[in-house]
Amino acid sequence: MKNNKKTNVYKFEKNNKSSKVKKICSINERIARILIAFFVVLLILIFRLAWLQIVQGAELKEEMHRQLTASKTISPKRGTIYDSTGKALAISAQVDTISVDPSRIVVENDDGDIDETKTKELKEKVAKAFSEIFELKYDETLEKVSSDSTNVTIAKKVENEKVEKLEEWMKENKIYSGINIDEDTKRYYPYNNLASNLIGFCGTDNYGLWGLELKWNDILTGTPGKVTSAQDAVQDLIPYENETYIAPQNGNDITLTIDANIQQIAEKYLKQACEENKCKDGGNVIIMKPNTGDILAMATYPDYNLNDPYTLDFIDEKEWKKMSAEEQYQKQQETWNNRAVTSTYEPGSVFKIITAAAGLEEGIADADTPNIYNCNGNEKISGVTIWCSDKSGHGSLSLRDALKYSCNPAFIQLGKKIGAETLYRYYDAFNFFDNTGFGDIWGCGNSEEAQSIFWNEEDVGSIELATMSFGQRFKITPLQMISAVSAVANDGILMRPRIAKEIKNTDTGAITTIEPEKVRQVISKQTSETLLDMLETVVDSGTGRYAQVKGYSIAGKTGTSEPDPSDEDAGYVASFVGISPVESPEIVVLVTLYGPQGDYNSGSTVAAPVVAQILKEVLPYLGITSDTTEEDEVPETISLPNVENKTVAEAQKMLENLGFECSTSGKSDSIVSKQMPVAGTELIEGSIIKLYTEEDDTRISQTVPNLKGMYLSEAKAELKNKNLNIKYSGSGKITSQDITAGTKVEEGTVINVVLKQEIEE
């Protein structure tokens, strides 16, 4: 038993000792693992620290700098676009951008923690104020104010009046933190639609999107400035002396050659012509000063409001909604484009000026040798019959007569004598094969200047030679056409079209002048003078008689291009180019009307009267005195007296004694409160005077009828039925009226019309 006890004791001690050894080993292993883990973590930290210090050090330093500084961009003022008289056509007004930092629109409790309930109420209060002041949707505004972003724009291009309302609200409610008011500019166009297809427009970021605004964007935009300030951990600004301020460099001002007054005249009569003649594809007018190439007006119809370019008022709202988004955008682009530069057309008989110039300059033709050309109403070329405008024929003609009557067979014969090679040499000299340079330098929309379309010279056969001799089956731009005619008017010297006169640095005042640029001498001065004399005959006694303006000498040429059979959508193009005064040309006007759908579609009856209307106003405006003492044939007129404050009976007696008729529903003893027309208006005998009284002041409107093509007696009867009056000049049929057909006017209104003798073309 003893031995067993000893053995057991020995075993116990041995086992106990073994257990202690195992415990020590286990502890050592744990310590080793901990030390290993410690060193791994330490290595990771050292590696991370090295990475932050060496690899990302510069970036983190910059990030720290950004967090401790507040940087604000200062928008430069976009340059102003002026017309040649100093009128501002595009200006940048001072406005503001309102933004918020939602993280700073908070309410803290006494412990410095955010009070969620009161913060929510504050954000709702701020959103409500924004939505009321800036006319925004409350739910959308609240979402912005409650967002997690540090900067959210609430409203852009805010006028000063609304900013003042916001500042007043902030002061009343003692809320400043988190609401930012930053200076900005907004582009305005004071004349709305004026020269819209030329000027173009900007986006909300003041970046040019179309027209001159786009092409000149780098010149007009300028360079933004910046203010950098310190801020604390909660992004409150800390004033300090080392604040950095970099002033913005404002954009340059640009002065155009366009005269806003002449532009308005051109647009007025272009719109009237397009509407009266139902021109399906609109039209354009270019007015150029031939000796400098200055463009005084460049109008396209339809146009659009530069302050709201995405709304096209001439399209019915129901029709607009039927269009797909793609169709709508395509229509907008078509309307925005400056068609005088971006689209081509067949010039028709206006181009006979170029054929005549080549013939005269080459000595192949002269103006007045009789019986050189023969017209029996058509010309047969390689089995194809080409008709003259007068199918009965003009007989034997001189070149002057051929131009006067716009005879196609005569010019086919002249073209054959000149030959394709020589004609192409003159086309090249007149710049028909190259762009004018207008689009490359000064812009013409979102697209560049259109390229003319001619046959390759080696492909010109007898038929092609015949048709191009009178201006058909090739295409050029209206700008190319007027540039070439201006060269004829400028002693044969071709000038580069100029749309801008100067660029002004608004910061330094330095002015860069853009000088007129001579391209080349195309024809001699003698040829130029001969052609002008021949073109004056066209207006005096030829197809251009509707372009006459009494008191001024006018040279010009009609053009009527027939639809290209290969183009299903093509229509007639009616045009007229006028030059005045003939002895020393100061102005060239080209009117082009696309697809007239009315009773007339020729250049003589549709376009020539428009040129006359324009010249009648523009020539006196430019200070160009009439070169004759002859005055318009106008009837005798009577000055309308003032009959207001008289009884109806007294007024009727006075007016009837002067030869006028009265229209009133007032009682004979009632007092006249207003008359229409107003006192002092010059009226012809038989005019109708509307009398109104306080008891009956109901004004009645009438729709102006289309008087074009009527004789005077017909127009008088038509207007009398509507209680409207007429004033006229000239004799024959009515070619133009100053108030567009379809316009609503008050009874008693006077419609001014011009009559001309009927022309056969």
Segments forming the whole domain that contains residue 680: 638-756
User: Both 658 and 730 in a single domain?
Assistant: yes
Longest Cα pair distance anywhere in the chain, in angstroms?
A: 168
CATH of the domain at 746: 3.30.10.20
Q: For residues 406 and 541, is the Cβ–Cβ distance under 8 A?
A: no
pLDDT (0 to 100) of residue 15: 56
Tokens 């179309």 belong to: 210
What is the arithmetic mean of pLDDT over 600-618?
93
Based on the fold, state whether residues 690 and 577 are members of the same structural domain. no
**One domain, residues 45 and 164:** no
Alpha carbons 360 and 362: distance in angstroms, whole number: 6
C-alpha distance from residue 38 to each of 24, 33, 41, 43, 49 (Å) = 21, 8, 5, 8, 16
Angle between helices 420-429 and 408-418 (to 10 degrees): 100
The kind and range of the H/E element at 754 are: strand 750-756
* Calpha distance 73→719 (Å, rounded): 63
The Cα 186–Cα 207 span in angstroms is 11
pLDDT digits (tens, 9 = 90+) for 65-84: 555 455 566 677 889 999 99
The DSSP secondary-structure symbol of 473 reads S
CA distances from 620 to 84, 175, 350, 551 (A): 17, 61, 26, 10
Question: 718 and 614 share a domain?
Answer: no
Rounded average pLDDT over 261-285: 94
On whether both 25 and 108 belong to a single domain, the answer is no
In sequence order, what are the residues at sequence separation of 6 or more whose Cβ sits closer than 8 angstroms to the Cβ of residue 638?
Answer: 658, 659, 660, 682, 683, 684, 685
CB burial class (10 A; 0-12, 13-18, 19+) of residue 553? buried
**644 domain residue, yes or no:** yes
DSSP code string of 87-141: -EEEEEEEEEEEEE-GGGS--B-TTS-B-HHHHHHHHHHHHHHHHHHTT--HHHH
Asked whether residue 711 falls in the same domain as residue 733, the answer is: yes
Which of 339-343, 347-351, 460-464, 623-627 has the weakest average pLDDT?
A: 623-627
Q: What are 551-560's pLDDT values in tens digits?
A: 899 999 999 9
The pair phi, psi for residue 109, each rounded to 5°, is -85, -175
CA distance 666 to 546: 44
**CATH number reported for the structural domain that contains residue 186 in this entry:** 3.90.1310.10
Question: What are the tokens at 755?
Answer: 């009559």
Closest CA to 194 of 304, 92, 314, 81: 304
The Cα 709–Cα 713 span in angstroms is 12
How buried is residue 161: exposed, middle or buried, by Cβ count under 10 Å (0-12/13-18/19+)?
Answer: exposed
Is the residue at 140 inside a domain? Answer: yes
Q: Which of 150-159, 363-372, 466-475, 487-496 has the lowest mean pLDDT?
A: 150-159
Q: Where is the domain boundary, 256, 286, 319?
A: 256
| Rounded Cα gap, residues 445 and 636, in angstroms | 49
The residue with greater pLDDT, 339 or 57, is 339
- Read off the pLDDT of residues 698-725 as tens digits, 9 standing for 90 and up: 888 899 999 988 888 889 989 999 999 9
Q: What is the dihedral of CA 155, 157, 160, 166, to 10 degrees?
A: 10
pLDDT of 130 higher than 80 = yes
Instruction: Report if residue 272 sits inside a domain.
Output: no
Residue 334 phi, psi (nearest 5): -60, -40
Q: What is the 3-state secondary structure (H, E, C) of 319-362?
A: HHHHCCHHHHHHHHHHHHCCHHHHCCECCHHHHHHHHHHHHHHC
Measured distance CA(251)–CA(508) in Å, rounded:
11
Single pTM value for the model: 0.76
Over the chain, what is the mean pLDDT?
A: 86
Distance of CA 132 to the CA centre of its chain: 34
Report strand pairing: 225-231 vs 244-246: antiparallel
Instruction: Indicate whether 657 belongs to any domain.
Output: yes
Q: Residue 233's pLDDT is what? A: 45
In degrees and rounded to multiples of 5, residue 462 shows phi and psi of -65, -40
Tokens of 683: 């009226």
Kindly state whether residue 719 falls inside one of the protein's structural domains: yes
Q: Which two tokens stand for residue 463?
A: 């038929």
203 is a domain residue: yes
The answer to whether 210 touches 216, Cβ cutoff 8 Å, is: no
Last-in-domain residue among 48, 67, 86: 67
- Confidence (pLDDT) at 235: 44
pLDDT in tens, 568-601: 777 899 999 999 999 999 999 999 999 998 778 8
| pLDDT > 70: percent of the chain | 88
Predicted local confidence at residue 545, as pLDDT: 92
The rounded distance, in Å, linking the Cα atoms of 260 and 567 is 37
At which residue do the structure tokens 């004791």 appear?
A: 9
Residue 423 tokens, joined: 């004609």
CA separation for the pair 228, 249 (Å, rounded): 17
- With both helix axes pointing from N to C terminus, report the angle between 478-489 and 352-361 in degrees, rounded to the nearest 10: 40
Paired strand residues for 73? 226
* Residue bearing the bigger pLDDT, 697 or 191: 191
Pair 214, 347 in one domain = no
Q: Does the pLDDT at position 243 exceed 80?
A: no
Residue 647 has pLDDT above 60, yes or no: yes
Residues 406 and 417 reside in one and the same domain: yes
- Is beta strand 152-158 parallel, antiparallel or unpaired with respect to 88-100? antiparallel
| 442/17 Cα distance (integer angstroms) | 103
Residue 166 domain-assigned (yes or no): yes
Looking at the structure, tell me whether residues 243 and 366 fall in a common domain: no
Region 296-300: mean pLDDT is 97
Distance CA 227, CA 248 (A): 10
Taking only the tens place, the pLDDT of each residue in 477-529 is 999 999 999 999 999 999 999 999 999 998 889 999 999 999 999 999 999 99
Domain boundary, last residue among 22, 48, 67 = 67
DSSP string, 261-302: HHHHHHHHHHHHHHHHTT-TT-EEEEEEETTTTEEEEEEEES
Phi, psi of 298 (to 5 degrees): -145, 100
Q: Distances in Å between the alpha carbon of 305 and those of 193, 340, 513?
A: 4, 18, 30
Rounded percentage of the chain residues whose pLDDT exceeds 90:
54
Cα separation, 78 vs 544, whole angstroms? 46
Amino acid at 714: E
Q: Is 385 in the same domain as 518?
A: yes
| Predicted pLDDT at 70 | 52
The pLDDT score that the predictor gives to residue 630 is 44
Contact yes or no for 79/252 (Cβ under 8 A): yes
Range among 37-51, 453-467, 567-581, 674-688 with highest mean pLDDT value: 453-467
Burial code of 1-21, b = ≥16 C-beta within 10 A, e = fewer?
Answer: eeeeeeeeeeeeeeeeeeeee
Are 35 and 108 within one domain?
A: no
- 8 Å CB contact between 116 and 109: no
What confidence score (pLDDT) does residue 705 get?
A: 92
Count of structural domains within the chain: 4
Could you tell me if 656 and 750 lie in one domain? yes
204 within a domain of the structure (yes/no): yes
